[in-house]
Structure 1
Amino acid sequence: MLSIIILTKNEEENLGCCLESLRDLNLDIYIVDSGSTDATKDVANRYSCYFFEHEFENHAAQVNWALENLPISTPWVMRLDADERLTPELAKELTEVLANAPKDVAGYQVKRRVFFMGRWIRYGGYYPTWLMRIWRTGYGTCEQRLMDEHIVLSKGKIANLNHDIIDENQKGLTFWVDKHNRYADREVQDILKNEAEAQSDTLAGDQFSQAKQRRWVKTNLYSRFPLFLRAFIYWLLRYTIGLGFLDGTPGLIFHFLQGFWYRFLVDAKLYSIRMEKQTPLVQSGAAAMNQVSSVATGSNQ
């Protein structure tokens, strides 16, 4: 009935919890690994997963490679991250819903419930986050971008499931910070690419979704505010009006890092790149001024 695709690289700390949540489901699990040097493969083998290796280019390309090359024979496909797991309620719901899905429904959205430092992040506009994660085989592809990529359906309607995916990374705060530093690099590349090609940063497909709405707000509202100031405004709104303060001390850390520090870091990297592009102009202008000064000095002698 269902095949699950999980992308991995050095995920031995997370993968066990993910696969354990799938144990009672009758499904095919495909691991697409990009060069793990830890015990990721051993964990996958313990749960009888199909294990494939493919060089990593970016997340979207890896997902699309999996969709095009894995021997998927089930009518439905689901994408799951190694640090995510199904709630028992969602596992039961999947079994019931997919067996009786209306023919015009091509995909299902699920809610993501993020845990940070052991705390469920319920406020600050962070829950529920709806993600299109289950779709009919052959109907979905991953949009080509480096960051914040989503599955886009070629046809059909999207329906919502009632229960959650849990997102809880086991690798600690230092890994989280390093990962978001890399995310910032990818997001900056997407921004610069869209600027260079004069592209509208919209989510493809006819379906209205939370992801499409949020991207519209980010492109048409957030991006119009000044660099750096917008990160502070976003965090302030999220933490106060969005009630992020109700998430306790872990929430304070999460909302500050994810809502302010990360967004500020993206702006800082954008600013740095734009300044570097202006440097040759500044240098050539300074050289021209030196030449003018030399001529003026010579004429006065």
Structure 2
Amino acid sequence: MISVVILTKNEERDLPVCLASLGWCYDVHVLDSGSTDRTCEVAEHYGAKVSHHAFESFGKQRNYALDNLDIQHDWVLFLDADEVVTEQFQAAIMAAVSSSDEEVAGFYCCWKMMLEGKWLKRCGNFPKWQFRLLRRGKARFIDFGHGQKEGETLGRIEYIAEPYLHYSFSKGWAQWIERHNKYSCQEAAARLYTPPPWRKVFSRHGSVRNPALKSWLSRVPGWPVLHFLQAYVFNLGFLEGTPGLIYCINMSYHEFLIQIKMREIRKRKYNLNLAEYENSAVKEAPSYSKHRAPV
């Protein structure tokens, strides 16, 4: 009924737990983008079908999977290697696709952010929605920031409230910080050049409202501090102990990186425009030649 696609690169540590949670699925695909560890070997050990494709972006990689993998079912669930399907989430997605009419193109799904065995419900701003379960031929992905979101959609998108588990910090904080430093560059460009329309800030759907809010609030001076206060104080993140504090500090730091990189992009663009203007002014300035008067 449902096929699963997992995007990987050097995921030998997380992949076994992810695949072990998919014993109910008989059509699991691992689309690898150049692993140098045992990722592909692990995938084959668990019976997954392994394919290879150079990574360009998350949106393009997911579309490549839809277009090129030998997917057996009409419904496709996309997972990352550090995500785990619970029995409750499995039951929820099975029920959702079984009862959906032909006008349903897919579903937004949400996750439980896990750190040190604790679910960061409050400071993780649960629920956060991503378009992860779709009907083949009804939807595509487009890139947004460092990730992706739904693109062209033929039908409506509904919500599955039951979450799966997300272990974003399983490889340690050094890897998380390195990865999010890169992500912040992509987020800065997306928030500057392709921000969601202002009207989406007022959407009743969190999947639409939250990206719009972040895009516009990141232009506000002091936004990283406000982000920390909102998550740790007003959302009662402090009730989640040390893991909550660590998470809120690092997510605020991530927002700080995005904000200063937005500033850097603006400054670079200003300097480039100024240089182009000065070069143009020099070229267009009249040249005066001194001529000797005839004797």
On whether the aligned pair clears a TM of 0.5, the verdict is yes
Aligned equivalent of 1:245: 238
Pair 156,208 (structure 1): closer, same or farther in 2 beyond 3 Å = farther
Pair 89,153 (structure 1): closer, same or farther in 2 beyond 3 Å = farther
Matched, 1:267 2:259: yes
1:92-171 correspondence runs (5 A):
92-124=91-123, 126-152=125-151, 154-169=153-168, 170-171=170-171
Pair 105,173 (structure 1): closer, same or farther in 2 beyond 3 Å = same
1:1-301 correspondence runs (5 A):
1-23=1-23, 25-124=24-123, 126-152=125-151, 154-169=153-168, 170-194=170-194, 200=196, 209-219=205-215, 221-226=216-221, 229-258=222-251, 260-279=252-271, 281=274
Q: Which amino acid aligns with 2:33?
A: S
Q: Which amino acid aligns with 2:266?
A: R
Q: Which amino acid aligns with 1:50?
A: K
**What displacement does 1:222 show?**
0.6
Larger deviation: 91-100 or 118-127?
Answer: 91-100
- Listed one character per residue, the Cα deviations across residues 77-124 of structure 1 (whole Å, up to 9, x for unaligned) are 111111001111112333344233333322223221011233211103
CA distance in 2, matches of 1:20, 1:202: 42
Pair 203,175 (structure 1): closer, same or farther in 2 beyond 3 Å = farther
Larger deviation: 93-102 or 160-169?
Answer: 93-102
Pair 275,2 (structure 1): closer, same or farther in 2 beyond 3 Å = same
**What displacement does 1:133 show?**
1.4
Instruction: Look up the SS of the partner of 1:233 in the other structure.
Output: helix
Q: Which amino acid aligns with 1:251?
A: G
Contact 1:201–1:215, Cα closer than 8 Å, also in 2: no
Contact 1:61–1:144, Cα closer than 8 Å, also in 2: yes
Instruction: Look up the SS of the partner of 2:36 in the other structure.
Output: coil
**What displacement does 1:185 show?**
1.4
Pair 267,92 (structure 1): closer, same or farther in 2 beyond 3 Å = same
CA distance in 1, matches of 2:160, 2:120: 20
Contact 2:109–2:163, Cα closer than 8 Å, also in 1: yes
- Listed one character per residue, the Cα deviations across residues 239-280 of structure 1 (whole Å, up to 9, x for unaligned) are 11111111110110001111x100111112222333344457
Q: Which amino acid aligns with 2:4?
A: I
**What displacement does 1:147 show?**
2.1
Q: Which runs of no fewer than 5 residues in structure 2 stay unpaired?
A: 279-295
CA distance in 2, matches of 1:177, 1:46: 31
CA distance in 1, matches of 2:230, 2:206: 19
CA distance in 2, matches of 1:106, 1:67: 14
CA distance in 2, matches of 1:47, 1:270: 43
Contact 1:203–1:212, Cα closer than 8 Å, also in 2: no
Larger deviation: 89-98 or 5-14?
Answer: 89-98
Pair 93,145 (structure 1): closer, same or farther in 2 beyond 3 Å = closer
**What displacement does 1:233 show?**
1.4
Contact 1:58–1:146, Cα closer than 8 Å, also in 2: no
CA distance in 2, matches of 1:45, 1:265: 38
Q: TM-score, structure 2 length as denominator? A: 0.84
**What displacement does 1:12 show?**
0.5
Pair 165,76 (structure 1): closer, same or farther in 2 beyond 3 Å = same
CA distance in 2, matches of 1:92, 1:125: 24
CA distance in 2, matches of 1:253, 1:261: 11
Larger deviation: 38-47 or 124-133?
Answer: 124-133
Contact 2:219–2:259, Cα closer than 8 Å, also in 1: no
Q: TM-score, structure 1 length as denominator? A: 0.82
- Listed one character per residue, the Cα deviations across residues 138-159 of structure 1 (whole Å, up to 9, x for unaligned) are 1121123342421346222333
Instruction: Look up the SS of the partner of 2:22 in the other structure.
Output: coil
- Listed one character per residue, the Cα deviations across residues 198-217 of structure 1 (whole Å, up to 9, x for unaligned) are x755899xx97322111222
Q: Which amino acid aligns with 2:142?
A: E
Q: Which runs of no fewer than 5 residues in structure 1 stay unpaired?
A: 286-301
